[in-house]
Structure 1
Amino acid sequence: MPLTLLVLTALLSAPLLWALLRWRAPLAALAWLLPAALCAGFAGLLPEVLASGARVEVRPWIPSLGVALALRADGLSLLFALLITGIGSFIFLYAARYLAGHADIARFFARLTLFMGAMLGAVLADDLIALLVFWELTSLASFLLIGFAPEQAASRRAAQQGLLITVGGGLALLAGAILLGQAAGTFRLSEILAMDGLASHPNAAWVIALVALGAFAKSAQVPLHAWLPNAMVAPTPVSAFLHSATMVKLGVYLLARLNPVYGEHALWTGLLLTAGLATMLTGALLSLRETDLKRVLAYSTVVSLGTLVTLIALPHPLAATAMVAFLIVHALYKACLFMVAGIVDHEAGTRDSTRLGGLARRMPLTAATALLAGLSMAGLPPFVGFVAKELVYEAQLSGSASWLPVAVAIVANAVMVAVAGVVTVRAFWGPLRPTPHTPHDPPLAMGLGPALLAALGLLLGLAPGLAGDLVQAAASAVAGHATAATLSLWHGLTPMLALSAFTLALGLAIYRGWERLHRALAAREAIATHGPDAAYDRAMAALQRLALWQTRAIQSGSLRRYLGATLVVVGGAVGLTAFARGALAWPSPDGAASLYALLPALLLLAAWAVVRARGFLRGVVAAGMVGFGLALVFLFHGAPDLAFTQFSVEAVAIVVLLAVVGRLPFAREDARTAPQRRVDAAIAIGFGAVASLLLLSVLATPFDERLSDFFRAASVPEAHGRNLVNVIIVDFRALDTLGEITVLALAALAAAAVLAGTRRSRATDAAHEEEGAA
């Protein structure tokens, strides 16, 4: 099936699904068929991709700029597409029951579908410009999803924060993509990946810094991670989709995609390794401060994202395989646990871990699902989480000369063991605690998705070879060369096994002391008051203060100040640029100049008369002298038609000004003080001098008659006219002329409406006065 068809189906289905569910809301139970069909379409491409390496489709988009809607499915992009649509199928099914009866369910599914389509376009794009378009579309769609409940202040703040951070990162990515395209001479990703030497290009450091900033903002790397936990105000299906296979993984995807290009650059390795390790530690620490199940899982996602970025930075050949395996593992158990947290909240009425316990007695099926996913998250055999953790430890032990990545990974993974215990064991086992609602297992539509994802984690742990070919293809794309991916549950008695055992023991110790750790960390107010989230609030408050000061300073309400500032900026910028570039020149006088040398003097005298005029009538007459003098200039330069046009326009303008504007009541002729007049005179003289020097420089440039020759040659045969000015205005510049006529017509209509409204207002006032008198 064509890639373009799959992506367009996802995007175009959003409005169709909205219209359908607005008509019949219960049909939301069948919405999962859309991502399931797309998943089947991508699965059908798997044999071709594994055999040939990639499938490429190119559709012309902006040929003049060399931009095409190019889509490419290789191992990495196909893996993401399968995760997006496969997990999306379960989330769509879950959401239909989770939001059953909601008044805005049609709007929710339309936004969720748009988000899915944008993600598919981003991971399949083979053109940097197309990738950027889909990248920003994911930010917009996530903004709409996070802010699904706009009546809540927390929802509005979280949506705005997520949008500003990710779009700000997107602007940095735009600059990096432009520099990368210029360095490579192409915007096609496949061509860029096939090039050698881009890492040694002079702009390589700028490209790396800008691309990394964009990816870090999207994938919540420290210190740009605050938006991710705050996005938990969104409905649980949104949280599950964003955190497992979509939004937060897009930055990781971009870093993995460009790793073959810049993987050997020291800045690339240093940035990714530093950000990844810092994110792992920060997420682990902050997850221990939370009691809300969704926020606990959100910070564990931050840890996982840091792990993925760290693995991309490691030079060991096994790091790519470990990264891909961990990507799959995290998507499976995180989507499952988020949906479980939503089930607990939906059925028990709370997701506060301090108020939960013993739910397994009332929700045995949900407890079993949570336990399977939690064991995979903790990295215990025989789950696929254990397989991925062994690979992660092996890559970190062999891929870095420093002990720091291994130490950070042990601490972070130990905290993940504790988090898995808090989400599963603490909530579902132990004594039964009272909850706002009587808990019970959810309907089949809500419980089926997480149960299947948890079972898939166990299946891939027992038979990891089922995903071996896909993992190998994706890891080869990340590494930039063919890799031999070997996934197995048992590697023997190895150092990695010892690290896993030590991690489990440390995690159990953290779990046992979780309450003390939580109270100690929650009491540290400095973490909240001086963290990135508080810094965001301070930055937004400072931005508002700056905007207020700027408005007061610039928006003074004085037209005189606005015009003066505009003329100073434009004149100064143009004049300084022309001077710096050496563009100013003086034309040589010709023999005929003496015949009309008096005209400039006459124009200057007329302009001086306008400035010195004390009354409105004198000013209008003096301005007319300037216009008539300009008409004489046209006449002496061999443009009689233009001169007579100028004569006519000037005469009509004087009559209108005297007849209409001259009758308006002016309280004072000129309210300016003497210093203000001197400032205005200096601005006017300066701007006029710059304009004059530019015109003289144009006259000093040899005249290029190619355009004139074209119009003379084409006037009669193509436009059937001999008057070049009329032909240019009516035929060659017809759209410009139409636009000018339209503007004038709209201005006339607006003036007529204002005058008519004034008449009606006066008539109404007169009628009221008569009624009052009666």
Structure 2
Amino acid sequence: MLLSILAGLFVAVGLIFIGKFIKNKWAAVSLTALPLGLFIYFLNYIPQIASGEIIYQKISWIPSFGVDLSFQLDGLSLLFSLMITGVGTLVFAYTSAYLKGHEYLDRFYAYLSMFMAAMLGLVLSDNLISLFVFWELTSISSFYLIGFNNTSEASRKSALTALGITGIGGLFLLAGALLLGSITDSYSIAEMLQNKDFLLQHEFYILAVIFIFGAAFTKSAQFPFHFWLPGAMKAPTPVSTYLHSATMVKAGIYLLLRFSPILGSTEFWNTTLILVGAVTMLYSAFHLLFRTDLKGILAYSTIAALGILVFLIGLGTQEAIIAALVFIVVHALYKASLFLITGIIDHETGTRDITKLAGLRKVLMPVAIAGFIAALISGGVPPSIGFVGKDLIYEATLGMPTNAILLTVIAIVTNILLFYAGFVAGVKPFTGKLPETYEKVHLPSWLMWFPPLLMVSAGMVFGIFPQLLESAFVGPATSSLVNDSEGFHLKLWHGFNTILGLSAITLVVGLLLYFILKPTHRLENFINKLEVISPKSILFFLTNGFEDFSKGWTNFFQNGYLRHYIATIVGFLVVALAFIIFSNFDLSLDVSSFSELTTYEIAIAIMMIGAVIFTVFTNSRLAAVASMGVVGFAFCLLFLFYSAPDLAMTQFSVDTLTVILFVLVLYRLPKYLHLSKNVLRLEHGILSLAFGSLITILVLKVLQEDQNSEITNFYAENSYLLAKGKNVVNVILVDFRGVDTLVEISVLIVAALGVFSLLKLRLKTRDKK
């Protein structure tokens, strides 16, 4: 399984070196072998998984932290793996014609390959930390794909928005992984399942669920995080097809399904998912009525479909889980097809405006056939698999012990609106009279119209023979999520019953809505007026407000004056030290234990005080530097008097070097042009005295504490035995505190590189000004 994931990454890296050779159409088609080979590879596992076998692979990665590359192939992960590689195969082939001759075609395929590898790693991972790594990799690769048209400001903004929202979800997932790992003492999802009862009773259960919800809702575009998905439609059609209908947006759904057996079956879990899913599906389904851009219609219908899936997972019954799994397949087949069809229409006519499109069946007949069948699947018209999926949804809602009628009504309304969206996107562009503008439109390469035709054909085959879908995909996936999954069978015909009546109502009302309500720009302008109160506008308003606050905060503290920075730091330290010291102030010193002041100590103190006063009041930078050097040399004398020649030599070297460097730098600078204002100098003087006083009090408090010689004895006894060094100070710095010293050296190296780069900087005259 690891090789199947690495294959996509290897291809992505390889395209860096051989990408220029795939600019040819048929060379690009050859890359389809990657997802096709992986699709066949996973197909071979169907008999094993269908028989109830679960395949594990574990590779040690960071065992000290409990992080392994452990993978699990069961019914659920197999379903998603086949969807990722199957749709990926068709998208790879479609791209070779859609982006034929594009300057960055190799780059696009590299991003697609990386994304496919990340999605496979995500659905196959059994370790939560490795799942998080692949989760973030999907966000990064999708950022590149959404912003592929990087010359467009709208594309760049959409990519950043998508990365920002899904990036927040990634932080939620990491927090949830760390929390669940600390609770169960393992990052393995399989081991977490064994600790389900303990997790459900844990005090941090609610917090862990909130983290998982945060990750899933942002990735799967649930309200109010949904707005990034319509914006992502700025991406090329293959991206919209692959990421935003079949794979990436289903990552959050996969996460919820995977954790349903672990964290589910509680009131908080079920109620939250039902509410979020219901709001999302109704809100988005309502919004698609006002859209005229084909991609916009499909985007909002995708959000509504994702809301249905979250809604079904929230119901939590076996019927609801089966309905969700079937609907995942249904949605992938018809929505990916409709996106590809939209791409063909846009590619050949130059527009996606549904108010301008009509009669294209006369010039794009195979595409029209694919669009019509996709609309049937989307609307749940028999004998398509969409009909089976819709019936299962109604069966799940009607079977709920409470609020069954309300839940069913919500599902019916959403399905009616999805019926409308499917027919608007799949039927309307091809019916009616062909405008003269499009009479010269011609059928594109079969690599573009064959993939959607193949997917909708599969949707009809699964509808007529649902047993194929049950035995190979839905049955094994259900077994991995539900303890007792026996006793269900997918059927196209269940007889005359309530569910059939509800399906008939959905079809009739949806068809009437399609004929009565015509997409117009007037409706779109109306809904755009309400954009100011949308979640997107509110979030952007808060973001802009935070940005303005950050600028004001930064400009206040980072005003360009070094003295201001130092005063801010010292001021904070004064407040912090004062709080710590005086919150429990108890200072009693035995002055008699202090040694008497000697003449040389008094002389050195007078010398230091005089040098400090001279430094403060002098008008010459060089004189200030020299007087500060006097302070440093006075410390050297103190070290000598207290028998610390090594410290004295170090201090002498540092002070001498500092004075020389400052003199060299400041020699060519003028005297102070303007001295600081007296008020400011007074403030700095008070701040300095306060800081010095607090440090003095702190030193005195340290002196009154009982000395603990345990650490001293340890270093004295072990310096030679463990580190083979007789100089205890050096041993501490180099051996016992080696990492700390290494970091300090690294900081100095970075600072030196910065100084060197500034010295070598050659600015243009314009930049200097």
TM-score (norm 1): 0.89
CA distance in 1, matches of 2:467, 2:757: 76
CA distance in 1, matches of 2:448, 2:12: 22
Aligned residue in 1 for 2:230: 229
Aligned residue in 2 for 1:526: 529
CA distance in 1, matches of 2:673, 2:43: 80
Greater alpha carbon shift after TM alignment, 340-349 vs 232-241: 340-349
1:572 aligns with 2:570: no
For each residue in 1:267-322, what CA deviation from the matched residue of structure 2 results, as whole angstroms up to 9, or x when unmatched? 22222111111111111111111122221111111110000000000032211111
State the 1:689 CA deviation.
Answer: 4.4
CA distance in 1, matches of 2:50, 2:463: 22
Aligned residue in 2 for 1:414: 416
Aligned residue in 2 for 1:275: 276
Which of these residues, 445, 453, 457, is aligned with residue 459 of structure 2?
457
For each residue in 1:482-529, what CA deviation from the matched residue of structure 2 results, as whole angstroms up to 9, or x when unmatched? 454421111122211111011111101111112178744643443333
CA distance in 2, matches of 1:192, 1:298: 35
The one-letter amino acid paired with 2:446 is L
Aligned residue in 2 for 1:132: 132
The one-letter amino acid paired with 1:687 is F
Question: Which residues of 2 match residues 241-256 of structure 1 at below 5 A?
Answer: 241-256=242-257
Q: Give structure 1 stretches of 5+ with no counterpart.
A: 762-774
Contact 1:356 1:435 in 2 (8 A): no
Which SS does the other structure have where 1:19 is aligned? helix
Q: Percent sequence identity over matched residues?
A: 38
Aligned residue in 1 for 2:317: 316
Greater alpha carbon shift after TM alignment, 520-529 vs 33-42: 520-529
Which SS does the other structure have where 2:689 is aligned? helix
State the 1:338 CA deviation.
Answer: 0.8
CA distance in 1, matches of 2:102, 2:267: 52
State the 1:603 CA deviation.
Answer: 7.2
CA distance in 1, matches of 2:757, 2:153: 42
Greater alpha carbon shift after TM alignment, 539-548 vs 276-285: 539-548
Aligned residue in 2 for 1:257: 258
State the 1:478 CA deviation.
Answer: 3.5
Which of these residues, 8, 14, 18, is aligned with residue 10 of structure 1?
8
CA distance in 2, matches of 1:413, 1:599: 93
Which SS does the other structure have where 1:32 is aligned? helix
State the 1:95 CA deviation.
Answer: 0.6
Aligned residue in 1 for 2:157: 157
Contact 1:118 1:134 in 2 (8 A): yes
For each residue in 1:54-105, what CA deviation from the matched residue of structure 2 results, as whole angstroms up to 9, or x when unmatched? 2222223333322222222222122111111111000000011110111110
1:605–1:81 Cα change, 3 Å: farther
Aligned residue in 2 for 1:19: 17
For each residue in 1:311-339, what CA deviation from the matched residue of structure 2 results, as whole angstroms up to 9, or x when unmatched? 00003221111111111111111111111
Contact 1:317 1:483 in 2 (8 A): no
The one-letter amino acid paired with 1:471 is V
State the 1:709 CA deviation.
Answer: 4.1
The one-letter amino acid paired with 1:339 is L
1:697–1:389 Cα change, 3 Å: farther
1:445 aligns with 2:443: no
Contact 1:385 1:461 in 2 (8 A): yes
Aligned residue in 2 for 1:382: 383
Aligned residue in 2 for 1:640: 645
Which SS does the other structure have where 2:337 is aligned? helix
1:184–1:638 Cα change, 3 Å: farther
Contact 1:119 1:138 in 2 (8 A): yes
Aligned residue in 2 for 1:678: 682
CA distance in 2, matches of 1:464, 1:711: 79
The one-letter amino acid paired with 2:436 is P
Which SS does the other structure have where 2:369 is aligned? helix
CA distance in 1, matches of 2:397, 2:354: 33
RMSD: 3.3
Aligned residue in 2 for 1:430: 432
CA distance in 1, matches of 2:51, 2:699: 66
Question: Which residues of 2 match residues 530-609 of structure 1 at below 5 A?
Answer: 530-573=533-576, 576=579, 593-594=594-595, 608-609=609-610
Contact 2:22 2:106 in 1 (8 A): no
Aligned residue in 2 for 1:399: 400
Contact 2:639 2:648 in 1 (8 A): yes
Question: Which residues of 2 match residues 75-224 of structure 1 at below 5 A?
Answer: 75-195=75-195, 196-224=197-225
Greater alpha carbon shift after TM alignment, 344-353 vs 248-257: 344-353
State the 1:579 CA deviation.
Answer: 6.8
Contact 2:363 2:439 in 1 (8 A): no
Greater alpha carbon shift after TM alignment, 508-517 vs 234-243: 508-517
CA distance in 2, matches of 1:478, 1:660: 74
Aligned residue in 2 for 1:770: none
Contact 2:608 2:634 in 1 (8 A): no
1:217–1:595 Cα change, 3 Å: same
Aligned residue in 1 for 2:507: 504
For each residue in 1:346-385, what CA deviation from the matched residue of structure 2 results, as whole angstroms up to 9, or x when unmatched? 2233222222222222222111111222111110111111
CA distance in 1, matches of 2:341, 2:389: 22
1:209–1:161 Cα change, 3 Å: same
The one-letter amino acid paired with 1:568 is G
Contact 1:384 1:460 in 2 (8 A): yes
State the 1:565 CA deviation.
Answer: 1.2
State the 1:165 CA deviation.
Answer: 1.4
State the 1:395 CA deviation.
Answer: 0.5
1:45–1:503 Cα change, 3 Å: same
State the 1:538 CA deviation.
Answer: 3.1
For each residue in 1:434-464, what CA deviation from the matched residue of structure 2 results, as whole angstroms up to 9, or x when unmatched? 3456233332211221111111111111111
1:338–1:745 Cα change, 3 Å: closer
1:672–1:252 Cα change, 3 Å: same
CA distance in 2, matches of 1:82, 1:749: 51
1:486 aligns with 2:484: no
Which SS does the other structure have where 1:350 is aligned? coil
Contact 1:610 1:618 in 2 (8 A): no
Which SS does the other structure have where 1:492 is aligned? coil
Aligned residue in 2 for 1:471: 474
For each residue in 1:646-668, what CA deviation from the matched residue of structure 2 results, as whole angstroms up to 9, or x when unmatched? 344445555665x5467454433
State the 1:673 CA deviation.
Answer: 2.4
CA distance in 1, matches of 2:444, 2:562: 66
CA distance in 1, matches of 2:437, 2:650: 86
Which SS does the other structure have where 2:436 is aligned? coil
1:354 aligns with 2:349: no
Which SS does the other structure have where 1:355 is aligned? coil
Contact 1:288 1:518 in 2 (8 A): no
Contact 1:355 1:435 in 2 (8 A): no
The one-letter amino acid paired with 2:270 is T
CA distance in 2, matches of 1:243, 1:751: 48
The one-letter amino acid paired with 1:393 is Y
Question: Which residues of 2 match residues 18-37 of structure 1 at below 5 A?
Answer: 18-26=16-24, 27-37=27-37
CA distance in 2, matches of 1:586, 1:541: 50
1:360–1:202 Cα change, 3 Å: same
Greater alpha carbon shift after TM alignment, 703-712 vs 595-604: 595-604
1:418–1:647 Cα change, 3 Å: closer
For each residue in 1:549-604, what CA deviation from the matched residue of structure 2 results, as whole angstroms up to 9, or x when unmatched? 23432321111111111222345346646777x7x886976997416788987776
The one-letter amino acid paired with 2:475 is Q
Contact 2:274 2:315 in 1 (8 A): yes
Which of these residues, 679, 684, 691, is aligned with residue 687 of structure 1?
691
State the 1:51 CA deviation.
Answer: 3.8
Contact 1:143 1:159 in 2 (8 A): yes
Q: Give structure 2 stretches of 5+ with no counterpart.
A: none
Aligned residue in 2 for 1:627: 632
Contact 1:596 1:636 in 2 (8 A): no
Contact 2:384 2:460 in 1 (8 A): yes
For each residue in 1:385-404, what CA deviation from the matched residue of structure 2 results, as whole angstroms up to 9, or x when unmatched? 11111111101111251122
CA distance in 2, matches of 1:382, 1:648: 89
State the 1:231 CA deviation.
Answer: 1.2
CA distance in 2, matches of 1:489, 1:450: 23
State the 1:674 CA deviation.
Answer: 2.8
